[in-house]
Amino acid sequence: MEKILGLPVLASKHGADVDKLVIYVHYLMGALFVGWLIYFLLALLKFNQRANPKADYVGIKSHASSWIEGAVVLAEAVLLVGFAVPLWGHAADNFPKRSESTVVKVIAQQFNWNVFYPGPDGEFGKRDFSLVTTDNPWGLDKTDPKGKDDLAPMLGEIHVPVDKPVLIELSSKDVIHSFKIIAMRVTQDAIPGLMIPVQFVPTKTGIYQINCAQLCGNGHASMASGRLIVQTQAEFDAWLKEKANAKPAASFE
């Protein structure tokens, strides 16, 4: 069924449940399409002028249509309550522990993704809107010792290790954007002034496109240049070490 529907590459743990829901919805839509087509053809054959030269003011007395409508409502309720709600509940409530995850801060802006990583201590330095200046656009508190080892911000490139939970703290610098990684089956609005957590577990190494699913201005299409790079743990550690040796975020000017 995945091949028939042409579903994109799947590379996340929870994505199989998302695809399953998509497939079940298509099953229901296919059944409704066939059912309505049969109904349409029967109506043409049974209620045309030749078969009914005189108008029938009583109409159909059968309640078959009511039973069919009830079955459709029941099927939709099963999809909603049995699949969609539990899937969303798991994604929204069961967040992994920060100590067991790759924690990344992503701040969208017109028209790119700003990516931040904590240093070896695993903790981000403090930020405050009152500290935002031309030389300090992210409001970093350069007196906070926790931020001294934070990595310098990167544009449009997120690195994560495979088979390990990823926890993204998502926000926006200007307008509403929407962070979308199709292969991970992840979509979440990025809203100015809010930090919204996003989680997934990548299961395949590779390079995956990051899209903005919300029209955010004339340069909206350029946000598709973002990349999620899933690596082995050894490759990720080597990359992180290389970046940690560069200029830290607290002194980034």
- Among residues 47, 78, 93, the one where a domain terminates is 93
**pLDDT value of residue 252:** 44
Q: Angle of helix 64-77 relative to helix 15-46, nearest 10 degrees?
A: 170
- For residues 108 and 220, membership in a common domain is answered with yes
Domain holding 113: CATH number?
Answer: 2.60.40.420
What confidence tier does 253 reach under pLDDT thresholds 50, 70, 90?
very low
- For residues 105 and 230, membership in a common domain is answered with yes
Question: Which helix (H) or strand (E) segment is 26 a member of?
Answer: helix 15-46
- Among residues 93, 121, 138, the one where a domain terminates is 93
- For residues 142 and 234, membership in a common domain is answered with yes
In whole angstroms, what separates CA 47 from the centre of its chain? Answer: 48
- Among residues 77, 93, 109, the one where a domain terminates is 93
Domain holding 72: CATH number?
Answer: 1.10.287
- For residues 36 and 121, membership in a common domain is answered with no
Q: Would you say residue 215 has pLDDT above 60?
A: yes
DSSP codes joined into one string, 208-234 = EEEEE-S--STTGGGGGGEEEEEE-HH
- For residues 226 and 115, membership in a common domain is answered with yes
User: Which residue has better confidence, 167 or 121?
Assistant: 167
Residue 184: left if φ>0, alpha if ψ -120 to 50, beta else—which one? alpha
Name the burial class of residue 93, with classes exposed (0-12), middle (13-18) and buried (19+) by CB atoms within 10 angstroms of its CB: exposed
- For residues 133 and 34, membership in a common domain is answered with no
Give the structural domain span for 121.
99-251
- For residues 203 and 224, membership in a common domain is answered with yes
| Stretch among 38-52, 109-123, 182-196, 202-216 having the lowest mean pLDDT | 38-52
> In the chain, how many domains are there?
2
**pLDDT value of residue 58:** 75
Which residue, chain included where needed, has tokens 């409001």?
Answer: 139
- For residues 108 and 222, membership in a common domain is answered with yes
- For residues 137 and 235, membership in a common domain is answered with yes
Report pLDDT digits (tens) over 97-151.
Answer: 888 999 999 999 999 999 999 988 888 888 887 888 888 888 888 888 888 888 8
Report pLDDT digits (tens) over 75-110.
Answer: 999 988 888 888 888 777 788 888 899 999 999 999
What are the tokens at 132? 């935002």
- For residues 28 and 150, membership in a common domain is answered with no
Q: Give the list of residues 6+ apart from residue 9 with CB closer than 8 angstroms, or none.
A: 182, 183, 204, 208
- 3-state helix vs strand vs coil in the chain, percent to 5: 40, 25, 35
- For residues 223 and 104, membership in a common domain is answered with yes
- For residues 151 and 186, membership in a common domain is answered with yes
